[in-house]
């Protein structure tokens, strides 16, 4: 296991080892960033060498794709654009819909919002379990043949579902939560990715800011922040998990980095086929995250971190029952 500070391969394209998850600019953690603030962040990421920008139709129900289209379309040749389909809002309601006709229609909507002729990597955001995965991936394969998308990805799927999908059309990447405190991908799907030649794109690699030591008090969160509904952030679990941070802070000091950089460096060391996509709304945090590529961890440090955040020591599941029912990932 080695960290490369140059590039990693994603859908046959070299990208910087750390991408940018764009969700937080529009969705999930409170009010959307102001247009000027969001533009500064996106262009700042581009100027600092980020070459993978990840969005979805879900994020702000189109707002995030529109933002990226407005800001980044003039620079389209400088980065890989990833988006997601299968979750959207219609008539004021959120839908998970993997029917082929829906995926074709919503792809056209995304292309329009993103101001592009083609999406480099297009994920099925959630597998609609009422539709065979083969049918949904078949529709995405049609979009590849039509030149609307270049590569197919899946999000939050199991190894079995990945293999079924890959039999229809090669899957270039699986996006799933992966971090020191969320290691479910290690059960089976990471191994399946490697067998099939798919990259693992890790969302929430900083544990939704927890691993970056960025949540001293849950009271600071916006009333609409999705973490308020997550088991790990409930008062009792959150208090127990806080006890894990002091040993991590000590390790970070020993390595001359921040806790967040330590968490990202650990993830990068898990394989050159893993690409973290931390999100942020602040340029200072962006620069900090990108600096993780230069943090060197030996095997002993990686093992110590893994033991510190062993699943038996982390309080609370990553999702509540309703959210867990929407995904297809393996569970411990």
Which residues are marked as active site? Answer: 59
Q: CB-based burial of residue 45 (10 Å sphere; 0-12 exposed, 13-18 middle, 19+ buried)?
A: buried
Q: Do 263 and 254 form a contact (C-beta atoms < 8 A)?
A: no
- What is the per-residue DSSP string for 78-141? GSEEEEEESEEEETTEEEE---HHHHHHHHHHHHHHHT-S-EEEEEESS--TTS-HHHHHHHHH
> What are the residues whose beta carbons fall under 8 Å from the beta carbon of 4, sequence distance 6 or more?
17, 272
Q: CB-based burial of residue 302 (10 Å sphere; 0-12 exposed, 13-18 middle, 19+ buried)?
A: middle
Residue given tokens 């994920």 in the structure block: 123
């Amino acid at each position: 296991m080695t960290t490369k500070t140059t590039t990693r391969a994603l859908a046959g394209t070299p990208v910087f080892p750390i991408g940018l998850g764009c969700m937080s600019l529009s969705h999930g953690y409170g009010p959307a960033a102001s247009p000027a603030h969001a533009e500064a962040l996106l262009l700042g990421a581009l100027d600092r060498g980020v070459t993978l920008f990840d969005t979805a139709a879900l994020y702000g129900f189109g707002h995030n794709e529109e933002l990226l289209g407005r800001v980044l379309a003039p620079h389209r040749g400088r980065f890989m654009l990833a988006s997601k389909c299968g979750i959207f809002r219609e008539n004021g309601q959120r839908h998970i819909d993997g029917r082929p006709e829906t995926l074709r229609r919503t792809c056209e909507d995304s292309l329009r919002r993103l101001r592009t002729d083609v999406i480099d990597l297009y994920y099925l955001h959630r597998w609609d379990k009422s539709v065979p995965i083969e049918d949904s991936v078949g529709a995405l394969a049609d979009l590849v043949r039509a030149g609307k998308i270049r590569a197919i990805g899946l999000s939050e799927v199991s190894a079995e579902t990945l293999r079924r999908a890959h039999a229809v059309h090669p899957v270039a990447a699986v996006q799933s939560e992966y971090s020191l405190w969320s290691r479910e991908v290690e059960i089976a799907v990471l191994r399946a990715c490697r067998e099939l030649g798919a990259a693992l794109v890790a969302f929430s690699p900083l544990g939704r800011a927890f691993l970056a030591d960025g949540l001293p008090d849950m009271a600071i969160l916006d009333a609409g922040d999705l973490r308020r509904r997550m088991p790990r952030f409930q008062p009792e679990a959150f208090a127990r998990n806080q006890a894990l941070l002091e040993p991590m802070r000590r390790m970070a000091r020993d390595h001359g980095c921040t806790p967040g950089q330590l968490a990202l460096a650990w993830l990068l060391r898990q394989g050159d086929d893993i690409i973290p996509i931390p999100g942020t709304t602040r340029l200072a945090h962006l620069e900090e995250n990108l600096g993780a590529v230069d943090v060197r961890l030996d095997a002993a440090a990686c093992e110590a971190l893994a033991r510190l955040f062993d699943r038996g020591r982390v309080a609370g599941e990553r999702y509540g029952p309703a959210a867990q029912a929407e995904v297809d990932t393996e569970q411990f």
